[in-house]
Structure 1
Amino acid sequence: MKKFIEEFKTFALRGNMMDMAVGILIGGAFSGIVTSLTDNFITPILKFVTGAERYNLQDVAGFASSFVSALVNFFIMALVLFCLLKVINKLMKLGRKKEEAAAPVTKKCPYCMSEIAIEATRCPHCTSELHMEVEKE
């Protein structure tokens, strides 16, 4: 069960999955803006132009406040998602185990500067005998 949870965590917190989730949420919030724009501005203008309905000044103010409310909701949603992703990314960085540096398997010959096996006592390139310890880079 622990392996399953670990695999799910890796799957769910991958970068592209997080991007997709943010895209869906922002798309939903943006849909609210488009709906508000259509319902509160475009439809009343079309009805006014065609003479289907008459609006007074208070109705227009109500439509504008509804649209502004949808905009504020969108920006609040975007801010919350931004803060949430910052926290998740910070936790992911803390949760990663630092990979230990692998022990070097090669060294440089002090005479010809060729890469040679770390256990070598003679350079295969220049055939020099290696009596001293070579500094690791």
Structure 2
Amino acid sequence: MTIAALTSLSEGAVIPFGGDRHTTVPPELAAAFRAGDQLHVVQSTGALLHVPKAIRSAVTTVVDAAVDAFAQLRTVRSDAVQRFYTAFADMLADEVVWDRIDAANTDDVLRAEEQGRSTTRLRVSAQMRD
């Protein structure tokens, strides 16, 4: 058995999934894929998810920062965390603040829809605010 980095994709290459099925690499994916990119296969559908190297790197950076932030948060006293959440709730109750959040959310939803992404969990609502 040989294991090597995936550095390119060929149009029509067979990609197994689900243990007993396969799909093939479409021409646009073969043309777009570069060394350092990742290919993920949805095992239930065979959908091929292309993650460019730059996106992969950006996500790694952000996730690493979040892990570091949570590690730092463990050192914060509980009364400080309580004050933060109280202030956060107070800000959400402010109509001016909520209007800005709602406007930014509307922009985010429109951008996601333009990219063909799901917006189900992205949309804010009055119920969520409450």
TM-score range, shorter chain: under 0.3
Bigger CA radius of gyration: 1
Q: Which has the higher strand share?
A: 2
TM-score, structure 2 as length reference: 0.26
Higher relative CO (Cα under 8 Å, sequence separation at least 6) belongs to: 1
